Amino acid sequence: MYPLKFRPILKTVVWGGEKIVPFKQISSTQHNVGESWELSGVKGNESVIDNGEFAGRTITSVLEEYKEQLVGKKVYENTGNEFPLLIKFIDAKSDLSIQVHPDDALAAVRHNGSKGKTEMWYVVEADADAHLLAGLSKKIDKDEYVKRVDNNTITEVLEKHSVKPGDVFFLPAGRIHAICGGCFIAEIQQTSDITYRIYDYGRLGLDGKPRELHTELAKDAIDYKVYPDYRTSWQEKPDTENLLVKCKYFTTSEYSLNEPFTKDLSDLDSFLAVMCVDGSGSLTEKENSG
């Protein structure tokens, strides 16, 4: 199956919450975030193919017809007719809400068999003082977590990371995190819309009321362990494959190419998604001469 191109789905999201609104409805006093969903099988937001014989069809409709031929046998056995990943660009104008996502087991029990959400960030651009929040900087328990949300001190125990282009953060389900203002990132995640909002800086939503916090739901979803480093270390080498993240949901690599690069996919039992984050290039399918 030849390389498929997809039409981006452009959205304006208030502080990274669930409320999606047209840009014209956002007042100048309401900070927001722009998102471009590059590849999505989320119900109601399925990506539309933009080239070839499948042009105009959604990724879901093609997946339902071609099944494992499109995504691979093991992937299809696991996720069926739901495309397993959501891939997008996020342009944060100000700090997004602090969040956590449940893992598969907790999501299945609480949300009618739904998947959890493990994700990763690749920083494409960042302002000079830009930062992200990921993980705990201090050991706390469930009771202290609730108290700190109530007394507005939860940010004091979160790890703050200054960022620059090329920084990578892996965010397994259960890790507290937030994208902060001045960051433009590429995000890869499981197809799931389950988000527990932990803290939102006391801001008001579009209805003029404080936005809902999911304190109790998040309490049992959080990984309270403190890790030595939340940033993913990697070294860029030109004209080769640089592995960034490998987990059971996705494998992500970076390529900094100055010359043509060929990758053999004959033994790959999966789909391959390609994002261009800088410069330009082309992607072609090479016929097998064997």
Predicted pLDDT of residue 11:
87
Band the pLDDT of 22: cuts 50, 70, 90. Answer: very low
- Asked if 11 contacts 34 with a C-beta cutoff of 8 angstroms, the reply is yes
Q: Mean pLDDT over residues 166-182, rounded?
A: 97
8 Å CB contact between 199 and 97: yes
Residues 6+ apart with CB under 8 A from 184: 89, 90, 91, 92, 123, 124, 125, 126
Quote the pLDDT of residue 146. 98
Of 68-72, 134-138, 283-287, the poorest mean pLDDT is in 283-287
Q: DSSP 3-state assignment of 97?
A: coil
Does the structure show a pLDDT above 90 at 16?
A: no
For residue 11, what are the CA distances in angstroms to 172, 232, 276?
A: 25, 28, 19
Confidence class for position 29, pLDDT limits 50, 70, 90: very low
231-260 mean pLDDT: 96
What does the pLDDT look like over 209-218, one tens digit per residue?
Answer: 888 999 999 9
pTM above 0.85, yes or no: yes
- Calpha distance 125→43 (Å, rounded): 29
Annotated catalytic residues are 197
Q: What does the pLDDT read at residue 137?
A: 98
Q: Looking at residues 35-60, what average pLDDT do you find?
A: 96
Residues written for the chain: 290
pLDDT for residue 202 is more than 70: yes
Rounded average pLDDT over 49-77: 97
> In this predicted structure, what is the pLDDT of residue 168?
98
Range with the poorest average pLDDT among 6-20, 49-63, 106-120, 162-176: 6-20
Higher pLDDT, 23 or 4: 4
More confident: 28 or 81: 81
Query: Could you read off the pLDDT of 180-198 as tens digits, one per residue?
Result: 999 999 999 999 989 999 9
Question: Minimal CA–CA distance to 36: which of 71, 60, 81, 6?
Answer: 6
Cα three-residue angle 105-108-110, rounded to 5 degrees:
105
Residue 267 pLDDT greater than 60, yes or no: yes
Greater confidence (210 vs 81) lies with 81
User: How much is the pLDDT for 204?
Assistant: 77
Question: Which of the 8 DSSP states describes residue 278?
Answer: S
Give the pLDDT band of residue 282 (cuts 50, 70, 90). Answer: confident
Asked if the model's pLDDT at residue 242 lies above 60, the reply is yes
